[in-house]
Chains A and B, each alone.
Chain A
Amino acid sequence: MAKRIDVEGLNAWFGSFQALADVSITVEPKQVTALIGPSGCGKSTFLRALNRLHEVVPGARVAGRVLLDDQDIYADGVDPVAVRRSIGMVFQRPNPFPTMSVRDNVAAGLKLNGVRKKSELDDVVERSLRLAGLWDEVSHRLGRAGASLSGGQQQRLCIARAIAVEPEVLLMDEPCSALDPISTLRIEDLIGDLKDRYTIVIVTHNMQEAARVSDTTAFFNIAGAGEPGRLIEVGPTTKIFTKPDDNRTEDYITGRFG
Chain B
Amino acid sequence: MAEETRVGFHRDLEEIDQKVVQLFALVAEGVAKSTDAFLADDREAAESLVDADAVIDALYCDVEELVQRQFALQSPMARDMRFLLSVLRIVPELERSGDLAEHIAARATRGISDSLTPRIRGLIEQMGRIGTQMWREAADGYVDRDADVARRLNERDDELDELHSSLTAELVTGQLSVPIALEMALVARFYERLGDHAVNIGERIRYIAEGP
Contact = CB atoms under 8 A, between A and B. Distances in A.
B78 A257 contact: no
Among A38, A208, A241, A254, the most chain B Cβ lie within 10 Å of the Cβ of A254
B4 A243 contact: no
A142 interface: no
B5 A255 contact: yes
A241 B4 contact: no
A160 B188 CA distance: 69
Contacts of B3: 257-258
B71 interface: no
A53 interface: no
Chain B interface size, under 10 / 10 to 19 / 20 to 34 / 35 or more: 10 to 19
B14 to A, nearest CB: 13
B1 interface: yes
Interface of A: 38, 207-208, 211, 222, 224, 241-244, 249-250, 253-258
Contacts of B1: 38, 222, 224, 257-258
Nearest to A244: B78
A194 to B, nearest CB: 25
A43 B6 CA distance: 23
A255 B10 CA distance: 9
B4 A258 contact: yes
B77 A257 contact: no
B78 A243 contact: yes
A244 B212 CA distance: 11
Contacts of B80: 254
Interface string B58-102: 000000000000000001111111100000000000000000000
Nearest to A224: B1
B78 A241 contact: yes
Contacts of B81: 241-242
B5 A242 contact: no
5 shortest interchain CB distances as A-B pairs: A243-B211, A255-B6, A258-B5, A255-B5, A258-B3
A211 B75 CA distance: 11
Contact of A243 (B5, B9, B10, B82): B82
Contacts of A222: 1
Given A242-B78, A242-B81, A242-B212, A255 B2 contact: no
A90 B2 CA distance: 32
Interface in B1-47: 1-6, 9-10
A10 B76 CA distance: 33
A243 B77 contact: no
Contacts of A241: 77-78, 81
A250 B79 contact: yes
A30 B75 CA distance: 27
Contacts of A207: 75, 77
A160 B82 CA distance: 39
A123 B197 CA distance: 64
Nearest to A243: B211
